[in-house]
């Protein structure tokens, strides 16, 4: 990766501006409620879809080795199915990836 | 509702934020950004998913319009949360105080604030948000510091290989956390499960079909999520979506972390 500092700063400024605006606009000027059932449902469901799209399939390629990535993904899916919580799931997933990488390193 | 009460309520949130922010910073430094960059982003943004997506886009030199649109799609839920908070503020609540509170609107801060039985005072919200923000910023600084120190200490050949494996393994950290956020509610609610499966399918199409994966980076997040969510919201409108506070009710607070 070779991103010039100016681009980093511009990117940061844009991220800040958009994030702050979405947080502030109704807090500062909001008067009416959103009553439309479909709009409300859309906003309710959107975060799940965004996360799903961001995670899959990118999670499989998030490490330096495809098999390690797949192993880590399976562990994350299994543990979160049993509601193990953010940190245990994450640590187990990292450990799995690391173990598989070590295995390949010494093979 | 005092400042100290806010600090106390913010403490568990801060603890959760430390780990998420730590993972964010390690990944960002590992992408090749200087250590000050994730700290600057965390100091100015204070949003998990948005920072993660935005940083990835900057790393690949994405088009600025795509960056704006992606941040908008990911963060638009805050508009609804802020709206709900606005109805619950003590009056009078001057505009400049609202402008400060707005910065601290996150999924977790919102969840805690909206549950309070009484109207929200400025000191309480300030305490809550300051405390969780410290966790967020502290976790980021810790992650950036640890990964750059490790990079400098592990300089021998085997040390370098070890460092690279460690950082590579850490690359999965945030993704795994996101999995932990999405999977439990998908187990409980078939509509969410259906939405998640549909979104993953759409995302895979964009990822693996050659004509589609040459689109500007980040565009697939917007297209897939907006289209899939629109379909689901149209055919299976969420019936409990009567009050704005329900935005929060789906993922349990403890699990939620940095949505």
d(CA B16, CA B226): 29
pLDDT score, position B239 = 74
d(CA B234, CA A44): 12
pLDDT score, position B256 = 46
In chain B, the N- to C-terminal Cα span, in Å, equals: 27
Does B181 or B130 have the greater pLDDT score? B130
The answer, yes or no, to whether the previous bond of B92 is cis (omega within 30 of 0) is yes
Q: What are phi and psi of B91, to 5 degrees?
A: -115, 145
B137-153 residue pLDDT tens: 999 999 999 999 988 88
As a whole number, mean pLDDT of residues A9-29 equals 95
What is the pLDDT confidence band of residue A40, given thresholds at 50, 70 and 90? confident
What is the pLDDT confidence band of residue A36, given thresholds at 50, 70 and 90? confident
What is the distance in angstroms between the Cα of A92 and the nearest Cα belonging to chain B?
Answer: 9
pLDDT score, position B125 = 97
Alpha helix segments (H runs only) across A30-65: 37-55
Determine whether the interchain pair B181/A84 forms a contact, defined as Cβ–Cβ distance below 8 Å: no
A73-90 residue pLDDT tens: 999 999 999 999 888 998
Domain, as residue range, for B64: 3-256
Taking only residues 64 to 103 of chain B, the set having a beta carbon closer than 8 angstroms to any beta carbon of chain A reads 64, 67-68, 71-83, 85-86, 95, 98-99, 101-103
What is the pLDDT confidence band of residue A42, given thresholds at 50, 70 and 90? confident
DSSP secondary structure of B56-89? HHHHTT--HHHHHHHHHHHHTHHHHHHHHHHTTB
CB-CB contact of B47 with B81 (8 Å): no
Task: Tell whether the model's pLDDT for residue A33 goes beyond 70.
Answer: no
B5-45 residue pLDDT tens: 999 999 888 988 998 899 999 999 989 999 999 999 999 99
d(CA B218, CA B123): 39
pTM: 0.80
The chain-wide mean pLDDT, for chain B, equals 87
Chain A positions in Cβ-Cβ contact with residue B165 (cut-off 8 Å):
64, 98, 101-102, 105
Task: Tell whether the model's pLDDT for residue A24 goes beyond 80.
Answer: yes
Task: Tell whether the model's pLDDT for residue B259 goes beyond 50.
Answer: no
Residue among B24, B179, B251 at smallest CA distance from A93: B179
Q: Structurally, how many domains does chain B consist of?
A: 1
Task: Please indicate if any CB of chain B lies within 8 Å of the CB of A46.
Answer: yes
Share of chain B above pLDDT 90, in %: 52
Task: Tell whether the model's pLDDT for residue A52 goes beyond 60.
Answer: yes
What is the pLDDT confidence band of residue B254, given thresholds at 50, 70 and 90? very low
Q: Which of A30, A38, A94 sits opposite B83 (nearest CB)?
A: A30
Does B248 or A50 have the greater pLDDT score? A50
As a whole number, mean pLDDT of residues B174-185 equals 89
- N residues, chain B: 259
Across chain A, which distance is largest between two alpha carbons, in Å? Answer: 64
Task: Tell whether the model's pLDDT for residue B67 goes beyond 90.
Answer: yes
Task: Tell whether the model's pLDDT for residue B4 goes beyond 90.
Answer: yes
What is the pLDDT confidence band of residue B190, given thresholds at 50, 70 and 90? very high
Q: Which of B41, B73, B76 sits opposite A12 (nearest CB)?
A: B41
User: In this structure, how many other beta carbons lie within 10 angstroms of the beta carbon of residue A4?
Assistant: 9
Task: Tell whether the model's pLDDT for residue B200 goes beyond 50.
Answer: yes
d(CA B98, CA B127): 14
pLDDT score, position B163 = 84
d(CA A77, CA B254): 18
CB-CB contact of B28 with B39 (8 Å): no
pLDDT score, position B255 = 42
The chain-wide mean pLDDT, for chain A, equals 90
pLDDT score, position B257 = 43
Task: Please indicate if any CB of chain B lies within 8 Å of the CB of A33.
Answer: yes
Task: Tell whether the model's pLDDT for residue B240 goes beyond 70.
Answer: no
A-interface mutation test, from B176, B195, B247, most A Cβ less than 10 A away: B176
Task: Tell whether the model's pLDDT for residue B110 goes beyond 50.
Answer: yes
pLDDT score, position B241 = 45
Does B156 or A71 have the greater pLDDT score? A71
């Amino acid at each position: 990766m070779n991103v010039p500092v100016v681009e980093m700063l511009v990117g940061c400024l844009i991220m800040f501006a958009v994030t702050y605006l979405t947080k502030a606009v109704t807090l500062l000027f909001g008067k009416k409620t959103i009553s439309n059932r479909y709009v409300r449902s859309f906003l309710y469901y959107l975060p799940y879809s965004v996360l799903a799209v961001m995670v899959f399939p990118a999670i499989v390629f998030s490490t330096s080795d495809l098999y390690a990535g797949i192993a880590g993904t399976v562990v994350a899916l299994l543990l979160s199915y049993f509601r193990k919580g953010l940190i245990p799931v994450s640590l187990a997933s990292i450990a799995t990836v690391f173990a598989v990488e070590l295995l390949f390193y010494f093979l | 509702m005092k400042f100290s009460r806010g600090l106390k309520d913010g403490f568990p949130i801060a603890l959760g934020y430390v780990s998420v922010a730590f993972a964010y910073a390690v990944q960002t430094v590992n992408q090749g950004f200087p250590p000050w960059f994730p700290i600057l982003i965390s100091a100015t943004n204070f949003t998990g998913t948005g920072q993660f997506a935005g940083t990835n886009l900057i790393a690949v030199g994405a088009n600025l319009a795509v960056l704006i649109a992606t941040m908008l799609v990911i963060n638009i839920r805050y508009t609804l949360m802020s709206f709900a908070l606005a109805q619950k503020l003590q009056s009078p609540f001057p505009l400049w105080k609202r402008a400060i509170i707005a910065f601290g609107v996150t999924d977790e801060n919102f969840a805690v604030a909206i549950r309070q039985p009484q109207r929200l005072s400025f000191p309480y919200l300030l305490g809550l948000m300051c405390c969780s923000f410290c966790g967020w910023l502290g976790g980021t600084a810790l992650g950036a510091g640890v990964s750059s120190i490790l990079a400098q200490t592990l300089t021998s050949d085997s040390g370098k290989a070890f460092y690279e494996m460690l950082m590579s393994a850490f690359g999965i950290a945030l993704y795994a956390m996101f999995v932990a956020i999405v999977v439990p509610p998908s187990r409980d609610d078939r509509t969410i499960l259906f939405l998640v499966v549909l979104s993953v399918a759409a995302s895979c199409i964009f990822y693996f079909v050659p004509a589609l994966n040459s689109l500007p980076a980040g565009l697939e997040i917007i297209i897939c999520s907006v289209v899939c969510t629109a379909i689901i919201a149209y055919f299976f409108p969420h019936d409990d979506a009567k009050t704005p506070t329900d935005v929060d009710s789906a993922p349990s607070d403890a699990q939620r972390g940095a949505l």
